[in-house]
Structure 1
């Protein structure tokens, strides 16, 4: 399965207005989160309208956390996402099973805190269409993901995997251009870095973030997509 990963994804969008802010600013991927513990949670019944609002304007990415088959079936039927983002403790075998069951690209999020975490990503190379390298959450965290904190980008200096990856974790309008220059990912993913409060997207911050992404891509050679 071949597809072009989004070069900039705004995740955790939950209103039509926020979707418009992201897409109008140039994001080519939008993330809808279905995970009740998240302040960005989108209920099942709200997914169809939000996905339809973005469809054809940006890639619709559906984020779930350790969802079972029954829940995934219902979510995919509701949102018809372009990409499934698995953001929990899914094993390579689970990623492969989800990809085969739903017949659409799968992005696997992996928390990176040490070189060993990055080495473990190799197990997902043959089963995921796209990887997302995020900051590893604290051990006592109740939610996955970087929770607004970046990780040591230098850990990615030796990464030479064949699967394209997005960079996430603590990205903001002030550091994303540096992140692109340092890491040269296939794309970047932001959520809390463009919010005025947890789960509340800010249109001005989204526009500033996307402007910084474009500046970083130009500085990196036009596309910022080198791996």
Structure 2
């Protein structure tokens, strides 16, 4: 009778230990599943990813590559600018000049335009070569004041766009209007982007009274 009881006790004890062991194994497996990915996951940098860093630079932070930064207001090069009223070389056999300045009142007729005091002038480009010259990508801009504030080009009054091409041995004119406050006309900078890859032509001086 005693032997049988001891056998039963030993059997029950073995079952209990097996159960405890199984519970322990399950607990270890669950712990590995829950905590292992957290331990091996990469830690995020406090400054953000490379993509976020690039976006921050685009939004206005300094860039380590100056050539990648846009030209800021007040930094248009003027070393090679010629006085307003002079003839400037544009390319071999091609020259430009600005003249015929007038003070006008522009009207807001196109999106983005603001009516007000403006200046109107004529730009003349001469082609002395024996082949036509393209003006399809030519762009004229005006800046005013010591900080070179960009001026808005206007569609009126009396605007005449430059043609897309200058015939060989000919000259063409364009009449342009830009909004420039009357108090800021003592220092004008007029630039001509003739063609991609060519130097910018600049005229600088006071608005001719």
TM beyond 0.5: no
TM-score (norm 2): 0.24
* Structure whose residues are more often strand by fraction: 2
* Structure whose residues are more often helix by fraction: 1
TM-score (norm 1): 0.22
